[in-house]
Chains A and B, each alone.
Chain A
Amino acid sequence: MDLSFFLFLSSGLFLGWSLGASDASNVFGTAVGTKMVKFRTAAIISSIFVILGAVFAGSGASQTLGTLGAVNTLPGAFMTALAAALTIYWMVKLSMPISTSQAIVGAIIGWNFFAGKETDIAVLGKIVSTWVVCPLLSGILAILLYQGVKAAIRHSHLHLIRQDCYTRIGLILAGAFGAYALGANNIANVMGVFVTSSPLHGVILPGGFSLSAVQVLFLIGGIAISIGVATYSHRVINTVGNGIMKMSPVMALVVVISQSLVLFLFASQSLQHFLLSHNLPALPLVPVSSSQAVIGAVMGIGIAKGGRELNWGILGRIGLSWIATPIIAALVCYISLFFLQNVFNQTVFLS
């Protein structure tokens, strides 16, 4: 395998690292912020489960991104991922509730424009609709869960100490599930653009396990996310845990479960097959934003509590990021591809 592959993959790995540092914090941020789970425990669990989710359930959402734009050369994929990463960096500096998914979608559209490929409007519409549905669904789930948990606590007469113990166990299990769902849903953002151009081959592991070429690629991306979690997520976790709204451990649990369920709903192929086989409407498998799912869940709890503590301005900022992030990413990608093609003489697309 050509060494240049890893050079080109570096932008995807950087994107993975930044996803681990920021988005993975959403999974355990509230748990660590409420001091119910130690950062070390959270980092170990999320690292393991992000990789498992990416490798074993990551293909669904990535196929949808592939239909939006199949970036067919390594330099093109490199620049698409880098454009998304740069946009994220910039938007984070502006304190926008950034979504890696929106950045990568914008960058892919930028590549489509540059390569003269047509963007499938139906697929784009499906993806954009999930940006609105994701925080909305997370909020609705949080309201239902919050009311359910509140009623259950009221009627069970659980001792406060026992409740604390159950909440702690619940946070760890929900966090593991959330990390798995994040890996499954968001690996498409990190490695999706490399799927078409990757020269990797499948491997057979000792014990009869085998990984396909895409799974090997997702394993590398998953490891990059884990490194992001281990090396840089501590600060972001503290912001997520304490920054949005003062939360009790039970509220933290509701937030983690809601956003994990939403990520899972948008990532699980087996759930989609199950729903379709029973003639039920299924959600599209699209990478969604864990940050916006968390914000949706927190807002949901705020509404359930009477809406007094809510900061409605943040909704406007999310709406703005739906428009600004993909446009900026598309522009950055288009301009960068131009330089990569004309200054560095790289083939950024195959016609």
Chain B
Amino acid sequence: MFHIAVSLFSKTKSLENKIDLFHDKLLDASMTFKKAVRVYLTEQRSDEYRKLSKQIKQIEHDADNLRRDIENRLYSQNLLPDLRADVLHLVENLDKVINHFDEVTYKFFIERPDIPEEYHGRINELCDQTAECAENMAKASRAFFRDLSSVRDYSQKVYFIEHESDLSSGRLRTAIFDSDIPLANKLQLSNFINDIADIADIAEDFIDELLIFTIKRDI
């Protein structure tokens, strides 16, 4: 009996750690993304940028492994029978954001867009906003597992920052299309801006679902 209890607790602890680690990966991806875009704007496809891009790829790979492991354990150990589907959904959506960070960073590496210096500040601002959205999304999700009362606080931040990022991306695209740069460049930059702003949109959708799951999880 004692052995069974110890094994149950150690399995529980290990899964808790994996879920925490998975959230850490999202925070890592978000911070690395912010740094990578800053490096790209000053150095373009430098060795430093290449290193950061690889770093995000590695984070994305580790997060995928963690996600699979969490999903397997939830099912094989028959944990959270009432909330399992919700938790799997949350984990998959968090993973989507990490994938998105990786895709955008890699896209910069492949397409090497030419970004006029006058837009650097606004692009940095947009990246900061999307990264902040993702970070608050990770915090809200962590709170779902540990401290339900904080979920709302972080969710509100995500809603606010996502709205700000919508305004920023709109202003930036308007400025780009009002400029004299070639249309091909305009379209390419607009695409990049959309990709970056999408991360905040995914975070907002995630929060909508998380708030519903929070009501369900409240005993």
Contact residues of A with B, CB < 8 Å? 34-36, 146, 149-150, 153-154, 157-162, 164-165, 169, 248-251
Nearest chain A CB to B81 CB, angstrom units: 4
Contacts of B12 on A, CB cut-off 8 Å? Answer: 161-162, 164-165
Known: A153-B219, A248-B82. A160 touches B146 (CB 8 A): yes
Known: A36-B81, A165-B12. A251 touches B147 (CB 8 A): no
Say yes or no: B217 contacts A34, CB within 8 Å: no
Scan residues 156-208 of chain B and give those whose CB is less than 8 A from a CB of chain A.
none
Contacts of A150 on B, CB cut-off 8 Å? Answer: 219
B149 at interface, CB cutoff 8 A: yes
Contacts of A154 on B, CB cut-off 8 Å? Answer: 148-149
Contact mask for chain B residues 1-40; partner A; CB cutoff 8 A; 1 contact, 0 none: 0000100110011011001000000000000000000000
Say yes or no: A160 contacts B5, CB within 8 Å: no
Contacts of B145 on A, CB cut-off 8 Å? Answer: 159-161
Contact residues of B with A, CB < 8 Å? 5, 8-9, 12-13, 15-16, 19, 78-83, 87, 144-149, 217, 219
Contacts of A160 on B, CB cut-off 8 Å? Answer: 80, 83, 87, 144-146, 217
Say yes or no: B81 contacts A34, CB within 8 Å: yes
Say yes or no: B146 contacts A35, CB within 8 Å: no
Known: A160-B83, A161-B79, A165-B9. A248 touches B146 (CB 8 A): no
Output the nearest chain A residue to B5 by Cβ-Cβ distance: A169
Output the nearest chain A residue to B70 by Cβ-Cβ distance: A161
Say yes or no: A249 contacts B146, CB within 8 Å: no
Known: A160-B83, A160-B144, A165-B9. A251 touches B16 (CB 8 A): no
Output the nearest chain B residue to A246 by Cβ-Cβ distance: B82
Contacts of B79 on A, CB cut-off 8 Å? Answer: 161, 164
Contacts of A34 on B, CB cut-off 8 Å? Answer: 81-82
Say yes or no: A162 contacts B147, CB within 8 Å: no
23 sample A-B contacts, Cβ–Cβ < 8 Å, listed by A number? A34-B81, A35-B81, A146-B219, A150-B219, A154-B148, A159-B16, A159-B146, A160-B80, A160-B83, A160-B145, A160-B146, A160-B217, A161-B145, A162-B12, A162-B13, A162-B16, A164-B12, A164-B80, A165-B9, A165-B12, A169-B8, A248-B219, A251-B219
Contacts of B217 on A, CB cut-off 8 Å? Answer: 160
Contacts of A251 on B, CB cut-off 8 Å? Answer: 219
Contacts of B83 on A, CB cut-off 8 Å? Answer: 160
Nearest chain A CB to B6 CB, angstrom units: 12
In the complex, A329 Cα to B13 Cα: how many Å?
54
Contacts of A157 on B, CB cut-off 8 Å? Answer: 146-147
Output the nearest chain A residue to B87 by Cβ-Cβ distance: A160
Contacts of A250 on B, CB cut-off 8 Å? Answer: 219
Which one of B8, B16, B87, B149 has the highest number of Cβ atoms from chain A below 10 Å of its Cβ?
B16
Known: A158-B146, A161-B145. A149 touches B15 (CB 8 A): no
Which one of B78, B82, B87, B145 has the highest number of Cβ atoms from chain A below 10 Å of its Cβ?
B82
Query: Which of A35, A161, A248 is within 8 Å of B78, CB to CB?
Result: A35
Contacts of A164 on B, CB cut-off 8 Å? Answer: 12, 79-80
17 additional A-B pairs beyond A154-B148, A154-B149, A158-B146, beta carbons within 8 Å, are A34-B81, A153-B219, A159-B19, A159-B146, A160-B83, A160-B87, A160-B145, A160-B146, A161-B16, A161-B80, A162-B13, A164-B12, A164-B80, A165-B9, A169-B8, A249-B82, A251-B219
In the complex, A19 Cα to B16 Cα: how many Å?
41
Known: A160-B80, A160-B83. A149 touches B219 (CB 8 A): yes
Which one of A149, A153, A159, A249 has the highest number of Cβ atoms from chain B below 10 Å of its Cβ?
A159
Contacts of A158 on B, CB cut-off 8 Å? Answer: 146
In the complex, A158 Cα to B219 Cα: how many Å?
13
Contacts of A36 on B, CB cut-off 8 Å? Answer: 81
Output the nearest chain A residue to B15 by Cβ-Cβ distance: A161
In the complex, A35 Cα to B81 Cα: how many Å?
6
Nearest chain A CB to B128 CB, angstrom units: 30
Q: Which 9 A-B pairs have the closest CB atoms?
A: A35-B81, A250-B219, A165-B12, A160-B145, A159-B16, A157-B147, A157-B146, A161-B16, A161-B15
Which one of A164, A248, A249, A250 has the highest number of Cβ atoms from chain B below 10 Å of its Cβ?
A164
Nearest chain A CB to B216 CB, angstrom units: 8
Contacts of B19 on A, CB cut-off 8 Å? Answer: 159, 161
Output the nearest chain A residue to B149 by Cβ-Cβ distance: A154
Nearest chain B CB to A6 CB, angstrom units: 37
Nearest chain A CB to B217 CB, angstrom units: 7
Contacts of B13 on A, CB cut-off 8 Å? Answer: 162
Which one of B82, B145, B219 has the highest number of Cβ atoms from chain A below 10 Å of its Cβ?
B219
Nearest chain B CB to A167 CB, angstrom units: 10
In the complex, A92 Cα to B145 Cα: how many Å?
42
Output the nearest chain A residue to B144 by Cβ-Cβ distance: A160
In the complex, A150 Cα to B218 Cα: how many Å?
8
In the complex, A153 Cα to B145 Cα: how many Å?
11
Output the nearest chain B residue to A250 by Cβ-Cβ distance: B219
